[in-house]
């Protein structure tokens, strides 16, 4: 194992591996990634892999677009598939107001060079035969996004980074981190590593990991469900894969998974997990599913997509997922901690991980912060946000799910 490096990245989920990859692309290959267990063993392995370009904030859309670009680039470089399905997405207009907002967003997509069309309810039926368009006002259609295989993408990025000269150490849990004689000291189960820069990409583990340094980071795990149905003959009979659908009225996303449907739900009363500490023996595990709070949403989905009412549920996965009080990740240097960087708090880390890593790696290698991205800066909450107000904001932002901001 390399024991003295320019950069140590801690955490081998999609985010940490993307950071290692982008640092290597920009010439910083004297680096090692330290992962407690296997790559993807946190939230990444069980994610649905959705990555949509739709959103009210162009800078965030650019992160989504940068992520798909990053994953496809790693696929090309290694020959390892990232499992990208270019299905496109339909963001339904559940109200006249949402449709108005879509018209406001359209020129922003043109500026980013991302195809964005506003579809009538009739056109939505043509694109997605299972949506009941009777009560929608149309949809925003982003035809070039879709979903990737999160594990495949992580592995391709890891291989591409290794090919460029970076190292990855699995089964190498990090303990204490400290600074001494101008270097960061990272204690691991295989000995100490010293580094000029450390990137902490350990998702909801980052809070406990950095608390001994006096940092109080509002990173907490929520529970999040995805439901996969049994095969449906109507889906099996399709010639092309369905576009993903997102709907604020149901507060869910639905995409095709083989010949069935995969549904992700943002319920009104989200549950947290392990608030008093992540169990030290937590492995590649799911949490016990709790379908009751999801029922009102599933009932609405039966109205929006009557085919769902005919589907048996094959599996309900409940996994932990990291959230911040405003739902955006914490990216960048930590104040008064020269050389300590954060890339954590991703709740759509597959969608935004690759693009965020590119931004962070450019920031690290040039010393120049990205412009116009204050919304994701690592230090934006300061250190005094107390647990109760952080949890209350997270509850609120999670429950609002696909709600669009009123200000345009």
Name the site residues for ligand FAD (rule: CB under 6 A): 10-16, 34-37, 41-44, 46-51, 173-174, 201-203, 205, 209, 224, 226, 264, 317, 319, 321, 346-351, 353
What stretch of H or E contains 224?
strand 220-229
Kindly state the smallest distance separating residue 110's Cβ from ligand FAD, in Å: 25
- Work out the angle at residue 160's Cα, subtended by the Cα atoms of residues 155 and 166, and round it to the nearest 5 degrees: 105
Residue number of the CB closest to ligand FAD reads 42
Kindly state the smallest distance separating residue 49's Cβ from ligand FAD, in Å: 5
Kindly state the smallest distance separating residue 127's Cβ from ligand FAD, in Å: 20
Kindly state the smallest distance separating residue 11's Cβ from ligand FAD, in Å: 3
Q: Which is nearer to ligand FAD, 94 or 278 (CB)?
A: 278
Contacts of 94 (CB under 8 A, 6+ apart): 136, 137, 247, 248, 249
Distance CA 354, CA 177 (A): 26
Q: Which is nearer to ligand FAD, 136 or 262 (CB)?
A: 262
Q: Which is nearer to ligand FAD, 78 or 203 (CB)?
A: 203
Q: Which is nearer to ligand FAD, 10 or 32 (CB)?
A: 10
Which pair of structure tokens corresponds to residue 291? 């379908």
Kindly state the smallest distance separating residue 26's Cβ from ligand FAD, in Å: 19
Which pair of structure tokens corresponds to residue 284? 């590649």
User: In the chain, helix, strand, coil percent, each to 5?
Assistant: 35, 25, 40
Q: Which is nearer to ligand FAD, 264 or 339 (CB)?
A: 264
Taking alpha carbons only, the member of 21, 43, 262, 305 closest to residue 146 is 262
Per-residue CA distances from 351 to 14, 36, 62, 242, 314 (Å)? 10, 23, 11, 19, 25
Kindly state the smallest distance separating residue 237's Cβ from ligand FAD, in Å: 25
Q: Which is nearer to ligand FAD, 101 or 227 (CB)?
A: 227
């Amino acid at each position: 194992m390399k024991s003295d490096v320019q950069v140590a990245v801690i955490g081998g989920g999609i985010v940490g591996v993307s950071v290692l990859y982008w640092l290597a692309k920009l010439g910083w290959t004297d680096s090692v990634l330290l992962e407690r267990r296997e790559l993807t063993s946190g939230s990444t392995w069980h994610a649905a892999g959705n990555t949509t370009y739709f959103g009210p904030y162009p800078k965030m859309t650019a992160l989504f677009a940068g992520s798909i670009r990053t994953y496809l680039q790693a696929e090309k470089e290694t020959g390892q598939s990232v499992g990208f399905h270019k299905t496109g997405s339909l963001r339904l207009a559940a109200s006249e107001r949402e449709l108005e907002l879509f018209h406001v967003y359209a020129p922003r997509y043109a500026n980013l060079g991302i195809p964005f069309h506003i579809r009538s309810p009739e056109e939505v039926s043509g694109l997605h035969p299972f949506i009941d368009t009777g009560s929608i006002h149309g949809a925003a259609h982003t035809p070039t996004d879709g979903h990737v295989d999160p594990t495949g993408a992580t592995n391709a990025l890891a291989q591409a980074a290794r090919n460029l000269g970076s190292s990855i150490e699995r089964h190498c849990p990090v303990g204490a981190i400290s600074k001494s004689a101008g270097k960061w000291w990272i204690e691991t189960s295989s000995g100490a590593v010293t580094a000029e820069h450390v990137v902490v990409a350990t998702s909801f583990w980052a809070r406990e990991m950095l608390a001994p340094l006096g940092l109080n980071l509002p990173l907490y795990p929520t529970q999040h469900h995805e439901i996969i149905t049994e095969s449906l003959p109507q889906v099996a009979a399709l010639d092309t894969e369905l576009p993903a659908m997102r709907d604020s009225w149901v507060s869910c996303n639905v995409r095709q998974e083989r010949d069935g449907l995969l549904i992700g739900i943002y319920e009104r009363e989200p549950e947290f997990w392990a608030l008093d500490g992540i169990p030290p023996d937590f492995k590649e595990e799911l949490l016990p599913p709790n379908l009751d709070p999801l029922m009102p949403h599933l009932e609405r989905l039966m109205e929006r997509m009557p085919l769902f009412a005919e589907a048996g549920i094959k599996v309900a996965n409940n996994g932990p997922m990291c959230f911040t009080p405003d739902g955006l990740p914490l990216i960048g240097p930590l104040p008064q901690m020269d050389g300590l960087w954060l890339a954590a708090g991703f709740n759509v880390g597959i969608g935004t991980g690759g693009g965020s890593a590119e931004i962070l790696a450019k920031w690290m290698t040039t010393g120049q912060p990205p412009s116009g991205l204050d919304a994701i800066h690592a230090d934006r909450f300061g250190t005094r946000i107390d647990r109760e107000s952080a949890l209350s904001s997270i509850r609120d932002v999670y429950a609002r799910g696909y709600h669009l901001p009123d200000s345009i």
